[in-house]
């Protein structure tokens, strides 16, 4: 299994333009929330808990993140828990509201992502490696941590493998 540094470095190598990184702070959370909303149907209330395909996907994702890094895995678990809460709240609403929120968020999120990759001048990471789809949300959390001055050793390791952040001309 690849390490946290391996995954983040590979993903970061596709995201060196700060404008692209900013679009990921908007687009990726929208996409994750939208997918969670869409996977929250069908769902069943069992012992006060909403059981749905979204819960299974979130549990598998958190397990993956925890295997990479305990701290980031816990943060991702918390964030995915919030997505599950919103997804469940929308899953019990009228179909139009549930579907509009899910599909709308998904489409707008991807549009924002592709704008960022226009600035980057490079295709999205998942085109070459499908694991980029699960690493993207983790990348956003790691970048937020780096911006807050957290995990400087990890940041240095990722940047030494991925290369420097640089603005590309338009």
Q: Residue 50's pLDDT is what?
A: 82
Give per-residue pLDDT as tens, 45-59.
888 888 999 999 999
> What is the reported pLDDT for 97?
97
Cα angle, residue 57 at apex, residues 53 and 81 outer, rounded to 5°: 95
In this predicted model, what pLDDT tens digit does every residue of 66-123 receive, in sequence order?
999 999 999 999 999 999 999 999 999 999 999 999 999 999 999 999 999 888 877 7
Provide CB contacts within 8 A for 164, sequence distance 6+.
Answer: 16
- Which of these, 97, 96, 83, 101, lies nearest to 29 by C-alpha position? 83
> Any idea which of 5-9, 127-131, 143-147 has the lowest mean pLDDT?
127-131
Indicate whether 132 pLDDT > 90.
Answer: no
2 occurs within a structural domain: no
What confidence tier does 168 reach under pLDDT thresholds 50, 70, 90?
A: low
Q: What is the pTM of this model?
A: 0.89
Q: Which domain holds residue 118?
A: 15-162
Look at residue 42 and tell me if it is in a domain. yes
**Domain annotation covers residue 5:** no
Q: Is the pLDDT of residue 64 over 80?
A: yes
Q: Is residue 3 part of a domain?
A: no
Residue 43 domain flag: yes
User: Which pLDDT band, with edges at 50, 70 and 90, does 167 fall under?
Assistant: low
pLDDT digits (tens, 9 = 90+) for 8-47: 998 888 887 889 899 999 999 999 999 999 999 998 888 8
How many domains does the chain contain in total? 1
Handedness of CA 116, 140, 64, 163 (dihedral sign): positive
Q: Is residue 4 part of a domain?
A: no
- Could you tell me if residue 9 is inside a domain? no
């Amino acid at each position: 299994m690849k390490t946290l540094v391996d995954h983040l470095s590979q993903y970061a190598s596709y995201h060196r333009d700060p404008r692209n990184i900013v679009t990921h702070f908007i687009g990726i959370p929208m996409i994750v929330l939208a997918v969670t909303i869409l996977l929250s149907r069908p769902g069943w209330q069992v012992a006060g808990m909403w059981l749905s395909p979204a819960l299974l996907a979130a549990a598998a994702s958190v397990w993956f993140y925890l295997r990479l890094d305990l701290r980031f895995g816990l943060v991702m678990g918390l964030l995915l828990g919030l997505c599950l809460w919103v997804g469940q709240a929308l899953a019990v609403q009228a179909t139009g509201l549930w579907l509009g929120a899910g599909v709308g968020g998904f489409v707008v999120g991807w549009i924002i992502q592709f704008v960022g990759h226009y600035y980057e001048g490079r295709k999205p990471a998942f085109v070459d490696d499908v694991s980029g789809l699960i690493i993207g949300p983790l990348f956003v959390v790691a970048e937020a941590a780096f911006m807050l001055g957290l995990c400087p050793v990890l940041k240095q390791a990722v940047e030494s493998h991925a290369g420097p952040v640089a603005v590309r001309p338009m």
